[in-house]
Amino acid sequence: MTKDEKIAWRHYSTHYKHEIAFDKKNPRYKLYLQKGWITEDPRILKLLDGGIEDFREKTAVRILKESGSEIVFNYCPKCNKLTRTPIAKQCQHCFHKWHEAEKIEDIWIISFYNNMVKAFTSLFN
């Protein structure tokens, strides 16, 4: 996220967690403002004009447009839905796990390779 997007996100999060933060008469309002948890900057607030979903979508589209080739999407091998993180090895949607899949695949590849080596060795001996 850009610096402005981070400020907007923090502003939204603070609002979401502490609705009291938007009561300007509340002493905490000034504190949150001083700490940078909320903002009165109209340029930042404009980012949130369309609501949080709109902000998320616009931010995601911008990130994909600017650095989409650097982003790795990790899909579940069973249901093909997007996992929670790029390195997740279990699916939050269908609960499929593939922690051992790579190990099993590695064992199979090593076993296959060893058998091929044996086969070739026996051909030339």
Return residues touching Zn ion (CB under 5 A): 76, 78-79, 91, 93-94, 96
Q: How far is CA 77 from the centre of its chain?
A: 18
Shortest distance (Å) from residue 109 CB to Zn ion = 24
Q: Are 89 and 97 in contact (CB under 8 A)?
A: yes
Shortest distance (Å) from residue 75 CB to Zn ion = 8
Shortest distance (Å) from residue 19 CB to Zn ion = 36
Shortest distance (Å) from residue 78 CB to Zn ion = 5
Q: Toward Zn ion, which CB reaches closer, 7 or 91?
A: 91
Q: Toward Zn ion, which CB reaches closer, 6 or 97?
A: 97
Q: Toward Zn ion, which CB reaches closer, 90 or 115?
A: 90
d(CA 125, CA 110): 22
Q: Toward Zn ion, which CB reaches closer, 26 or 80?
A: 80
Concatenated DSSP letters of 13-76: HHHHH-GGGG-TTSHHHHHHHHHTSS---HHHHHHTTT-HHHHHHHHHHHHHHHHGGGPPP-B-
